[in-house]
Copies of this chain bind each other. A is one copy, B any other.
Amino acid sequence: MSAEKYEESYLYRLRHSAAHLMAQALTELYPGIKLAIGPPIENGFYYDVEPPVPIREDDLPRIEKRMKELSKLDQRIERIVAPDRNAAKATILSETIEGQPPETAEYKLLLLEAVPTGEEVSFYKQERTDREGVKHKFMDLCRGPHVDSTKEIKHFKLMSIAGAYWRGDTKNKQLTRIYGTAFESQEELDEYLHNLEEAKKRDHRVLGRDLGLFMFSPRVGTGLPLWLPKGAILRDTMVEFLKKEQLVRGYEPVVTPQIASIRLYEKSGHIITFKDKLFPFMEDEDKETYILKPMNCPFHIEIYSSAMRSYRDLPIRYAEFGTVHRYEQSGEVAGILRARGFTQDDAHLFVRPDQLLSEFMGVVDLMRTVLDRLGLTKFRARLGTRDPKSSKYVGSEENWQLATQAIEQACQEMSLPYEVSEGDAAFYGPKLDLIIKDALGRDWQMGTVQVDYNLPERFELEYIGEDSKPHRPIMIHRAPFGSLERMIGLLTEHYAGAFPFWLAPVQIAVLPISDRHVEAGYELAHYLRDHFGYRVSVDDKAGTLGKKIRDNQLMKVPFMLILGDKDLEANTVGVRSRESGDLGAVSREQLFDLLKSSMG
């Protein structure tokens, strides 16, 4: 069920050829320009060049224009092979190419040095004939492959310019990197450009501030978000939802400390396997050394081992909204998407081998329920298996097979499509990652489920089997949200801050038209809160109705309820929906029905 690899796709070739097309245009527009390397990348391509005069962002349209012209000429893109690097060098230095005299070949010659002796070297060439019938050739040292003709490169755009060092080494000369993108159709290009614009507008850091979700403070520190009231309510709403789902699925809550003696993490092995992400240690006057909790699992294991367990007690499912700290490098911290302190919706299942399949299915079902409720309906699963050539894995061959089969069977029985990513397992067991596609088509790796044979072994976990003998349980680690922080970051960008009704921090804003409607406004708000549990605000500030509507629109409140004289008289309320606009005056009963049906 594996998808075609990008590196083998037509799009990849197209973008590679677009990089060549750009280089061709550059050699014409900037005679003497030196070309370095120009590969396709995730969302397009770039070329690193050393131009005779600086190239700036406002030069890009001119380059793009020349590319369009060159594209239309329908130049055939041909592969030319030199038998070895000496022959290739001779070709580079001897060929007469307009705009590509031998002295511009500095970087190509350096690249050639890396080619093993006796190995074939390929070039790609495209040729045009000018009005006078003279042939102009562009030729580039390149492995390829490429598309057949420049006319295939129709839907492209140059994006930006950046500095980049030759071979990524700051000791080398700084080159000019020109980024571009290309697609197979104008629609795809337009969508991509639109999504880029959208993504800027949806940046969760900007929306987080504008919507009053969270903040950072230099007096508190890097990567340590402070959740403002609306953000705290959002967290709470998600937590309450998941708690309910977990309750009916037989999870039991636990609460464990924020710190622990390093002994705990020495026992678990994290002190070594996770050392790059640990905060500095704290040594107290009794010579006890503590660390900020980087993960919850060892605590849940301590709870498991605090009592004798029987096969009848299993599965045991401990769930905790556990705050953990991981020391991300300050350059890697990114709003709440990658914070240093965050709260995982963590749980650990201790299961018998015969329960692995059903428990895994239960977890997959929960994760799908969660993503569905969050409106993240586009996702795929990736099964990380063992690299058969590596020896870094712990646990028996048999256990690995059983676990991998259990995951595959669970996915099949749950009709969950998955791709297999060999070598992507954790060292202690196979795992299933869920990769979500957001409203802008971007992939996010979120929730993960991992099967673990290692920690039960390290902590010598046991249960007494039906045979009255001790057996070792298997652990499943899982976190459907991943973390509250990361999921809220994703949701904020996915919804551009317009959270679904059930999730919105303020679900309803009551807008009294004037002072004399304020009291009725509060009555309505309290009724909606006390009888239905809705989160309701009353906008009793001075100001016109128009201003109140605009303010609440900016805050992306799902429903505004407008109260004026007529409404008080007729016991109605004017409804404005975030999605459908003005719905006019409705009765109280109609309002309650509308709200109820909006809860989804």
A binding-site residues for B, Cβ under 8 Å: 215, 217-222, 224-229, 231-233, 235-236, 247-248, 252-261, 263-264, 267, 279-284, 286, 288, 290, 292, 298-299, 302-303, 306, 312, 318, 320, 323, 325, 327, 330, 341, 529-530, 541
Contacts and interface: CB of A to CB of B under 8 A. Distances in A.
Closest 9 pairs (CB-CB, A-B) = A229-B252, A227-B255, A232-B253, A280-B282, A224-B257, A219-B264, A221-B261, A220-B260, A217-B302
B258 A229 contact: no
6 contacts: A220-B257, A226-B254, A226-B302, A231-B255, A258-B325, A280-B283
B253 A229 contact: yes
A254 B232 contact: yes
Contacts of A288: 221-222
A217 B280 CA distance: 22
B215 A227 contact: no
Nearest to A341: B257
A306 B280 CA distance: 29
A333 to B, nearest CB: 11
Contacts of A233: 253
Given A226-B302, A303-B228, A221 B260 contact: yes
B267 A226 contact: no
Contacts of A217: 264, 302, 306
A255 B232 contact: yes
A320 B228 CA distance: 11
Given A219-B260, A220-B260, A220-B261, A255 B235 contact: yes
A280 B280 CA distance: 10
Copy total for this chain: 2
Nearest to A223: B257
A292 B259 contact: yes
Given A226-B302, A228-B303, A258-B341, 4 more contacts: A220-B264, A232-B255, A259-B279, A280-B282
A536 to B, nearest CB: 11
Contact of A257 (B221, B264, B312): B221
B279 A221 contact: no
Contacts of A281: 282
A82 to B, nearest CB: 49
A236 B253 contact: yes
A299 B259 contact: no
Nearest to A290: B221
Contacts of A232: 252-255, 320
Kindly name the residue among A229, A232, A255, A286 whose own CB sees the greatest number of chain B CB atoms within 10 A.
A255
B221 A303 contact: no
Contacts of A541: 312
B267 A327 contact: no
A263 B288 CA distance: 25
Contacts of A286: 330
B225 A257 contact: yes
Contacts of A258: 258, 292, 323, 325, 341
Kindly name the residue among A224, A233, A236 whose own CB sees the greatest number of chain B CB atoms within 10 A.
A224
B263 A219 contact: yes
A289 to B, nearest CB: 9
B279 A256 contact: no
B303 A259 contact: no
A510 to B, nearest CB: 15
A228 B299 CA distance: 11
Contacts of A282: 279-282, 292
B292 A220 contact: no
A577 to B, nearest CB: 25
Given A261-B220, A283-B280, A290-B221, A227 B256 contact: yes
B259 A325 contact: yes
A259 B341 contact: yes
B222 A259 contact: no
Nearest to A343: B255
Contact of A259 (B224, B229, B236, B283): B224
Contacts of A247: 529
Nearest to A342: B257
A252 B541 CA distance: 19
B215 A318 contact: no
A225 to B, nearest CB: 7
Contact of A224 (B252, B260, B341, B530): B260
Contacts of A279: 259, 282, 284, 290
Contacts of A318: 229
Contacts of A256: 220, 226-227
Nearest to A215: B306
A515 to B, nearest CB: 13
A234 to B, nearest CB: 10
A302 B219 contact: yes
A226 B280 contact: no
Contacts of A248: 529-530
